[in-house]
A and B are shown apart, each in its own frame.
Chain A
Amino acid sequence: QVQLKESGPGLVQPSETLSLTCTVSGFSLTSYSVSWVRQPSGKGPEWMGRMWYDGDTAYNSALKSRLSISRDTSKNQVFLKMNSLQTDDTGTYYCTRDRNYGGYSERYYVMDAWGQGASVTVSS
């Protein structure tokens, strides 16, 4: 059974760094890629970036200067770190399993399993 679970602090001070962990089970991080997606309250989701199955990373250019994604395959964990947090970074943060359905391009990846989400509030 494929499962993903996000964990981390629910409250972060402005200008501080957010650290989240995605712990996965039911699949291997060396076979599947994992994305991070966030959703501010009342808005649509935003794709943040991806840890590829081969250890490479891809980032949304809007967040690239603040964002880092890494992993520990021995612990089945993917990590997100984002610095210089502001109030508009408040929202729910999800990790997703990304499945390839038929081609080598990023266009052939879909987010076929999602974690429950971690609520993050940026406030002093």
Chain B
Amino acid sequence: DIKMTQSPSSLSASLGERVTISCRASENINNYLSWYQKKEDGSVKLLIYHTSRLQPGAPSRFSGSGSGKDYSLTISGLESEDIATYYCQQGYTPYTFGAGTKLELK
């Protein structure tokens, strides 16, 4: 199975700050990489798919990039509603997820 490693595991940032979360796959995943947001209430939303495609309804301050094994999610200006845990997921079955990055307010 492909192992997904996220960093950092937790992150404190201020409102308006630019935030970047990284994800590394154990092998080339050819841009089949999605990002999900999980709120404290347990609700989960798809933000980004195929590395950089924004899911309809997701705010445009979210963007994704990367290739090969290395990918990143960027929030261009942190808002309070972005406080959540973020997970990357690769697209080869069995699908596997990163362990998550918990984003908190500084």
Q: What is the interface of chain A, defined by CB distance below 8 A to chain B?
A: 43-47, 58, 60-62, 92, 94, 101-102, 106-114, 116-117
Residue among B1, B44, B97 with the highest chain A CB neighbour number at 10 A: B44
Check B93 against A106 for contact (C-beta < 8 Å). yes
Residues in B47-106 with C-beta less than 8 Å from chain A: 49-50, 53, 55, 87, 89, 91-100
- The residue that B98 contacts in the complex, of A44, A111, A113, with Cβ under 8 A, is A44
With contact pairs A44-B97, A45-B97 given, residues A107 and B46 touching in the complex (Cβ less than 8 Å): no
Q: Which residues of B contact A45 (CB under 8 A)?
A: 36, 87, 89, 97
Q: Which chain A residues border B45 with CB–CB below 8 Å? A: 114
Contacts of B4 in A (CB 8 A): 44
18 CB < 8 A contacts A-B: A44-B87, A44-B97, A45-B36, A45-B97, A46-B96, A47-B95, A60-B93, A60-B94, A106-B92, A108-B91, A110-B46, A111-B46, A112-B46, A112-B55, A113-B46, A114-B44, A116-B43, A117-B44
Task: Considering the complex, give the chain B residue whose CB is closest to the CB of A113.
Answer: B46
Q: Is the interface of A mostly helix, strand, loop or mixed?
A: mixed
Q: Are A110 and B96 in contact (CB under 8 A)?
A: no
CA gap between A1 and B92 in the complex, in Å: 29
- C-alpha spacing A77/B99, complex, angstroms: 30
Chain A nearest CB from B93 CB (Å) reads 5
CB distance from A43 to the nearest CB of B (A): 7
B94 touching A61 by the CB < 8 A rule? yes
Q: Name the A residues within 8 Å of B94 (CB-CB).
A: 47, 60-62
B95: which A residues are within 8 A, CB to CB? 47
Q: A43-B99, A46-B97, A94-B44 are in contact. Are A110 and B92 (CB under 8 A)?
A: no
